[in-house]
A and B are shown apart, each in its own frame.
Chain A
Amino acid sequence: EAEVAQSPRYKITEKSQAVAFWCDPISGHATLYWYRQILGQGPELLVQFQDESVVDDSQLPKDRFSAERLKGVDSTLKIQPAELGDSAMYLCASSSGLHRGTQYFGPGTRLTVL
């Protein structure tokens, strides 16, 4: 069964350092999402791509966060510099776009900023 891949699974960094997360969506899925989930809360959308184009990045803190999906396949989310409040689970999801809402999530990257 096809899955969304994410790496690393866990990342510990010190504040002011740069971190990067990688996501490989299910093959053929044109839509890719990055979510942030703080402990005890639901996932919050950071950025949505349709192929290589950003569809929605209104919730992305652009002073420190950036995301790219250069060839419309895999994607990278970067934080520079990391802050203590960035500690969270970062989830990637993809969908074919054929059925609204059927997003398939990866296992996530657990970020701890010290």
Chain B
Amino acid sequence: DQQVKQNSPSLSVQEGRISILNCDYTNSMFDYFLWYKKYPAEGPTFLISISSIKDKNEDGRFTVFLNKSAKHLSLHIVPSQPGDSAVYFCAASSNTGNQFYFGTGTSLTVIP
């Protein structure tokens, strides 16, 4: 059973506009969430994280929002750049286990 879900396999956005990538989870014990970016033929690269004690974390052009009641998080990229074109994975973990659960990824294409 997929505990972390990314329901949009792909997203296309114009350069300069906002990209919003969504992620839903089912396990209410998850308390730490991450976003990774992956280019072809490379391993995932850590992008940004958020703990359940916060509802927002910002790092430059990247902001992650967490809605615990809805079990939903989103990654906002503003402004989007062509170099942001990649596959984005969200991942979640609980403090009771060692494992991180990854979503299936969303392929973002930023159109120049």
Contact A91–B98 (Cβ < 8 Å): no
Tell me if B66 counts as interface (CB < 8 A to partner A).
no
Chain A residues near B36 (CB-CB < 8 A): 105
Contacts A48-B99, A100-B95, A101-B32 known; 16 new A-B pairs at CB < 8 A: A40-B9, A41-B104, A42-B4, A42-B6, A42-B101, A44-B102, A45-B99, A48-B98, A91-B44, A102-B46, A103-B46, A103-B100, A105-B36, A107-B43, A108-B42, A108-B43
Interface string of B39-62 (1 = CB under 8 A from A): 001111110010000000000000
User: A101 contacts B43, CB within 8 Å?
Assistant: no
* Interface, chain B (partner A; CB < 8 A): 4, 6, 9, 32, 34, 36, 41-46, 49, 89, 91, 93, 95, 97-105
B residues within 8 A CB of A48?
Answer: 98-99
Expressed in whole angstroms, the minimum distance between the Cβ of A45 and any Cβ of chain B is 5
> CA separation between A106 and B26, bound complex, in Å?
29
Give complex CA distance A103, B32 in Å.
13
* B46 and A104 within 8 A (CB): yes
22 pairs, CB–CB < 8 Å, chain A vs chain B: A6-B43, A42-B91, A42-B101, A42-B105, A43-B44, A43-B89, A55-B98, A91-B44, A93-B43, A100-B95, A101-B34, A101-B49, A101-B91, A101-B93, A101-B100, A102-B34, A105-B36, A105-B43, A105-B44, A107-B42, A107-B43, A108-B43
Q: How far is the CA of A56 from the CA of B93 in the complex (A)?
A: 14
